[in-house]
Amino acid sequence: MREKEDIQQGAFWDLSENAGADQPEVTLDESENTTNKFQPHEPRERTIGVDFFDVISQFFLVAFALLFVFSIVEDTWHIYPWECSEQVIEGDDGTFQCQQYGITEPRAYDSSGFEIVELSEKVIAVGMYMLIIFFFIAYCWFKLSKKDHLRHLGEENVVVLMTSRFGMTPKIKETIRLQDDSFIQRTSGHFKIHSKGQKPFNLSKFDVQDCIYVTGLEIRRE
């Protein structure tokens, strides 16, 4: 689902005394060439979150990779002792080893056929498992906490695209200064701000109402 938020409050967001003003309704006519009564000195912002279904495939790929890492940890460090499924052989020094498929394993076993697992090995195994689980949770949080912010800075007449994660202060990714000749161009469902002498500003993550509300520009078809 797309997450939309009103203008944020706080030290980072308050750029003018009008930042908390009520938001006017945005209406679109059939041609979508709509110009609203946008006041350049009023900062405006729209925020969208990540759609879970857009990243679920990435979660499955990461989970599959981590299962492979789990198997490596299980083969290297054990929490629970393995049981010898074939023959237990006693060595000359009184220790026991497991012989399977004609191969004698180097690990020590007891006389009942169970592997002898040292405490230090169990601690390492638990630590590795916890590290893998922590990594997966952190990765999921990293992906799901991402938010894109489209914001007009007010009197500066500048539009910025920002990205934030983990609820931290957004970082500016792209900037464009609006001019008298600025407009939003719509091409196959994608939106870009065009201002003479500047690189086109991509608005594809935001819908048409968000674009008009924040920028106050008219939309032109290609």
Euclidean distance between CA atoms 158 and 156, whole angstroms: 5
79-102 per-position pLDDT tens digit: 888 888 778 888 777 788 888 777
Given the structure tokens 């399977």, which residue do they identify?
Answer: 100
pLDDT above 90 covers a percentage of the chain that reads 33
Q: Which fold has domain 1-50+146-222?
A: PH-domain like (2.30.29)
| 176-212 residue pLDDT tens | 999 888 999 987 778 899 998 999 999 878 888 898 8
- Where do you find CATH 2.30.29 in the chain? 1-50+146-222
pLDDT attached to residue 193? 92
pTM, full prediction: 0.62
E strands, the chain, are 44-49, 87-90, 96-100, 103-104, 147-152, 158-164, 171-177, 183-187, 190-194, 201-202, 219-221
